Every structure is written in structure tokens, then in C-alpha cells.
Structure 1
Amino acid sequence: MDHSVTPGSTTRGKQRPPSQADVAALAGVSSQTVSRVANHRPNVEPETRDRVLSAMRMLGYQRNSAARALTLGRFHVLGVVTFDIAAQGNARTLAAISRAAQAAGYSVNVVCAEAQTEDAVQQAVRQLTDQAVDGLIVIEAQILDRRGFDISSGVPVVVADGDPERCFPSVDTDQAAGAIAATRHLLDLGHRTVWHIGGPQDSYAARRRAAAWHSTLKEAGAPVPPLALGDWTAASGYELGRELAARPEVTAVFAANDHMALGLSLALREAGRRVPEDVSVVGFDDVPESAYFAPPLTTVRQDFEEVGRQCVALLLDRIDPPGGQRAGTEPVSVTPHLLVRSSSTRPPAAGRA
């Protein structure tokens, strides 16, 4: 009588989950190799890794995450705290973090804090650490800019788009470089000056963009118009655009995000001001729809994919430091790029510098 055991069964006929030994037998490798593949260790030949992964899929093998966490002291889960998940930048950064984490073999737990207060952040951090995470990423948290703020969770923290005091390792788009490129582009076209619709002043990114716009005009010897403040929405860009449209001296506007640029463009058209023949418009972000605005929007493209990859890479380096030494808190800066489309051109003769 044949008493051999096939994967997923026992000699008593009861079903059991396939084991690492079953995968090893099918793939023709050792159990240690299966463990290295399951734990995303790098020291496995690509062909061998593919063979093991194929065997896992054939057998329906599932890693025992609880046992793995006890063995390695790792849960392979990253926590993310964000504050306005509907905001374009936050949503795209979160999506990029999720993709980068998945590629590294980690899952992501997200908590959206109700407000940017110390209590709200502490509560979100406690909620995530209670779920057992290996590290935390906090997106656009101005509250963390305070040196006195303390995250006493005992897990590594990385901040995306924030933390000017560098209390924590951070990753961000070079907001100043993007704003300088946008402002310089309009000046180089011959506009006497550039008006700016800024974002809310509780946003670190908005403050940096406005400061760079201001300094670029000063350095160029151009007049500095009053700063108009929106709230990132197309509606605020539209309301401010109605005011700017009534000023004949306005020939170029840099909006701190694409949605406000959209509202601005509509207000200009309704007032009989053509874009770009009468007023050039430049945005920031490069939302997927910006290439289909009427006209297509000149904008500064943020590489959210790279921000997400860098956040995850920086956090993993702090979870498992190479050589056992954690790096310092030097920020990682991701360079944005100006995309010139049809919404910007030379000014009408009366508005040239």
C-alpha cells in the first residue's frame, strides 16, 4: 500500500496547508531557499526565485505572517498617517507609497487624522502601532515641524512633504525649484511681472512655492504683485481669477496647483480675457487632466512615484539599517520638471517688459 504524502494532505486524509517543505520538494530546492524567497531576501538567483514562486502559486502556499513576525521581529506592515486624503498631492503620494511598499513585500495600513494637532497625530500613531507596524510615514504634517513634538511609538518615522526643522527624515519635491521654474518661464517669455495664486498658508508646500515666486521676482528686478491666497480648489481659483481678470495689467499668473489654475482660466474666459493670448497661466502638480484643459496647461510636474519610492526606501533603511547604523535626518529632495504646453506664451505688446 502506498503511504506517500502529497502536498496539502496528511496520511490520515485530512487537508493541511502546504508547507515550506512541500514548496521546496516541488521546486527542487532547500527549505532555506524557500524561506529566503518568502522573506524577500536578495541572495537568491532570479531563476531559482521564479521556480519557487511558481511552486508557491501551484500549491496555494501562504506565508504564516504571525510566525514570521515572531521569528524575524518584523510584521512587514508600514503605517501611513495622512490628513486630507482627498487632496490631489496627498492621494497621489499615498498611492505611490502603497505601490512601492507592495513591491518591497510590505502591506500598508492607513489612518486619516481628523486634524493637524498633536492629539490627533498621537491618536493616529497609537492606532497604527496597536496594529503592529514596522515603521510610519506621515504625509504633509505641519504639526511635526515643531521641535517639541514627540512620537514615542518606538518605530522609525519618515515625513513626506513637511518637517522643515528636520526632526525626522523627510522626502519631498523641491517645491522652491518648481516655483522658480514656473516664474522664470513667464518672465523669460517677456512678461513684466507674474501674479501668484498661492495655496493655504497652513501648507508647507504652498509657503515654499510662494516664497520662491517672491524671491525670483525680486532677483529679476520685477515688480512683486500682492499675493492672492486660495485653498487648492478650482472654486477658489475661479473667485480670485475674477478679481485678476478685472486688472488689465495682469498678463501672467502662476497658480500654486492645477485645480486653482483651472478655475482661474474659466474666470478669465468669462471676463473676455483669452488664455494665453491675453493672460498666460501656469499651474503646479501636472494632474492627469491638465493636458486636456482648454488650452492644455503649462505646469510643474511633481514625480509622486519617486516620492513614494524614496519614502519607502528611506523607511526600510531605518527599519533594517545597512551595516546596523541608521542614517541621519538629511532630507531627500525630488526634482520637479516644468512642462510647457499651450497656456503660456509671450504677452501682448502692452504687457511686455
Structure 2
Amino acid sequence: MTTGTSVDTPAPRKPPTLYDVATLAGVSHQTVSRLVKGHTNIRPEIRSRVEAAIAELNYRPNRAARSLATATSRRIAALFFDRLDEVGPTRIVQGASDRAREAGYVLDIVGLDPRQHSDIERAVALIDESDTAGIMVFAPTEAVRDEIARVSFGVPVFLEAGVLPASGLRNGDVTGTALLTDHLLELGHRRFFTITGPLEWFAAQTRLRSLQESVARGGGKLVGQLEGDWSPASGYEAGLRLPLDQGVTALVVSNDQMALGALSALRERGVRVPNDMSVVGFDGIPESRFFEPPLTTVGVEFDDQGRSSMNALLHMIDPGLHPEAAELKLPALFARESTAPALR
């Protein structure tokens, strides 16, 4: 019988990962991934550190993963303002999702809070890492737009920000606000006040600018403004602060939900709508006809806006297969009992 000593065979060394490279270079794994994918918007000193770490660790990207990434993808990533109580953005993304599905794509939605920079960065990193044919960005604020502009994506990107800059289509915020203002001017109103949405939002900026231009064009005056956050509570708070000693006869509210809060505040303050002050909203939500009094508003075809935006992205992905976006339907005015002729 032969005896001997056993020798432990060392376990095979695991190949280095992208995360190992990131740790050695002192950068995020997203940065390493962008460099490996060939992105160019990486600072030279960062690039040097990552390349040195790759060489030191003898890192090799996963070929199977890379082959999957180069295959034709049927997925579209979407950055979306993750608040389901916001009617407009929710209906826009639903229209976009429906159109993507009809074209044979799946829309993967990544939610974000546009008020939190870290949340925006996280969401952008997630879609940058994903295997997609294109990216749809529902970007309500300048912060989201700026973060998107900072990243060099390898696929088409369409920015849906309440306007359609790639196609030059007409803007529902502009035409809708003009409809409401002209309606009030025709009723004899000349002294206006407004409750805006949060002014870092493109929609709020555009509606305010359109109101200012329409009032001035009609010979009226915008006496003042207060800023809300799209919620009924913020409309209520603004309604409590609205000055009643400046002859205001028309209140223009940037969405129907804030208008609901404003109507409640005015009622508490003894202001009769529309006898003492006419009030209008924006969006045309189904509930607006049941407000007290029923709200004059404009209905915007948000679903069509989402579909048109998706058409624009699909055209960028494959111009030969998908036509460019068509002209959007104009907003419709719903004149109801919250507006009446000015009495002073």
C-alpha cells in the first residue's frame, strides 16, 4: 500500500469583472461600462485610470453579453416622471406605450423624481446599461434634459418635454392657453391672475408665457401670479393667498387639479364663482365637469401627443419603416359654469 500526502489544487481564479475594474479605477461601474461600449464623453483623466485598471486586471468584456447587445432589440426604454396622479404625463406615456406595442416594441419604463438630481442620475444610468433600440425621455424639467444631454447614448433618443422639437409640431400648451385667454377676453375680463405649475417644468413655463402674450395682445393685464406644484393642495393654498383688492376678475390656473383646490379656497373666502371671479383650468380631466361649479377648461389630446412622440422615435430608429409624426389635434375649449361675463 502506497501512502502519500494529498496536495490541494488551488481553485481556478475567477476572471475580473466590470465592478473590479471600477473599484480599482475609483469610478462607477456605469463609467467603465460606457468606456467599454465605446462612448466618448469621458474625461481624459478618467479614461486613463479606467484603461490602466483594465490592463492591470487583464479584464475582458463578456463576449456573450456583447453579442446580445449588438442583436436587434425590440425594447424601448422610457424615462418617466413617476407620479401617477399627474394626468398629463401619465396619459402621454400610455399613448406612447400603445404605439410602441403596435410597432412590435415593448416600452420599459424607468420612473424618476425630476426634483431629485440623484434620482435622475440613477435613472439615466439604468437606461444607459440596458439593451434597447431607442430611448424616449418624458422630460418635464430642465434638470432631466441637462442630464440626458450629458450622456452619449449609442441609440436614438427622443426628448418629449411638452413640445415636439424634432418635428416642429404645434404645442398644445400654447394653443390651449390662448383658447382660454381669448374666451375670458371675449367675456370682458381685463384683469387676470394666474396660478402656475412649478416653474422648473417646461409645461408651466410655456403656459405662463402664452398667457402673458395672449393677455397683452387682448389689451388686458396680468396682475400677478403664484406658483403651485400641480396638486389640489397647492391650488388651495394659492387660492387663500390670492389678492382680492386688485380688481382681478379672471383666474387662470395651469391645471384642473390645482383649479379644484383654488375653487375650494375662494368659496371659503366668500368669493362667488363666476359672479365675482371667473376661473379656468387646463387638461380637461373627466372630473372637471363635476366640480362646483363645473370648470371651464381645455382638453388636450395627451394620448395623441404620446403616440406622436413615439412615432418620431420610431422614425429615428428605422426611417424606412416608420413615418414621421403627424400633426397633433388642437386642444378643445370646454366652456362651463365657472366663467361668465365680467361685471366690473
TM-score (norm 2): 0.71
Q: Deviations over 1:217-237 (max 9, x none)?
A: 222222220122111111111
2:334 to 314, 334, 339: 339
> What does residue 161 of structure 2 align with?
161
CA contact (8 A) 1:171 1:310 kept: no
**Quick one: distance in 2 between partners of 1:138 and 1:103?**
19
Shift of 1:179: 1.1
Give the CA deviation at 1:169: 6.4
The one-character-per-residue Cα deviations of 1:18-74 (angstroms, maximum 9, x if unpaired) are xxxxxxxxxxxxxxxxxxxxxxxxxxxxxxxxxxxxxxxxxxxxxxxxxxx97x943
Counterparts of 1:246-257 in structure 2 under 5 Å? 246-247=244-245, 249-257=247-255
1:238 aligns with 2:221: no
Q: Is the 8 A contact 2:308 2:328 kept in 1?
A: no
Instruction: Please tell me the residue identity of whatever aligns with 1:85.
Output: R
RMSD (Å), alpha carbons: 3.2
Paired residue secondary structure (1:322):
coil
Determine the structure 2 residue equivalent to 1:98.
97
1:316 paired with 2:317, answer no
Aligned length: 277
- Residue 78 (str. 1) matches residue 76 (str. 2): yes
Residues in 2 aligned to 1:171 and 1:316: alpha-carbon distance in whole angstroms: 16
Question: What is the DSSP-based 3-state SS (H/G/I as helix, E as strand, rest coil) of the residue aligned with 2:333?
Answer: strand
Amino acid aligned to 1:340? A
Counterpart of 1:194 in structure 2 is 192
In structure 1, the residue matched to 2:8 is none
Q: Distance in 2 between matches of 1:294 and 1:148?
A: 42
* 1:286-320, Cα deviation, whole Å (9 max, x unpaired): 11211211222111111111111101111111111
User: What is the 5 A alignment of 1:1-353?
Assistant: 73-86=71-84, 87-115=86-114, 120-139=119-138, 140-143=140-143, 145-146=145-146, 149-161=149-161, 166=165, 173-244=171-242, 246-247=244-245, 249-322=247-320, 335-348=330-343, 351=344
1:173 Cα offset (Å): 3.9
Secondary structure of the equivalent of 1:345? Answer: coil
Superposition TM-score, scaled by structure 1 size: 0.69
| Percentage of pairs with the same residue | 34
Kindly indicate whether the alpha-carbon contact (under 8 Å) linking 1:186 and 1:194 is maintained by their aligned counterparts in 2: no
Note closer, same or farther for the CA distance 1:155–1:332 as it changes in structure 2 (3 Å cut): farther
Give 2:198's aligned amino acid.
P
SS at match of 1:152: coil
Partner of 2:48: none
- Asked whether the equivalents of residues 187 and 194 of structure 1 are also in contact (C-alpha less than 8 Å), the reply is no
Q: How many angstroms apart in 2 are the aligned matches of 1:338 and 1:174?
A: 12
Tell me how far apart the structure 1 counterparts of residues 169 and 80 of structure 2 sit (CA, whole Å). 15
What secondary structure sits across from 2:89 in the alignment?
helix
**1:284 alignment partner, SS class:** coil
User: Residues of 2 paired with 1:227 and 1:211: CA distance?
Assistant: 12
C-alpha offsets along residues 217-272 of structure 1, whole Å, 9 cap, x if unaligned? 22222222012211111111111112337437222111000011101111111222
Equivalent position amino acid for 2:81 in 1: F
Q: Following the alignment from structure 1 to structure 2, what is the Cα–Cα distance between the partners of residues 217 and 113?
A: 35
Whole-Å separation in 2 of the counterparts to 1:148 and 1:308: 19
Specify the SS of the correspondent of 1:228. strand
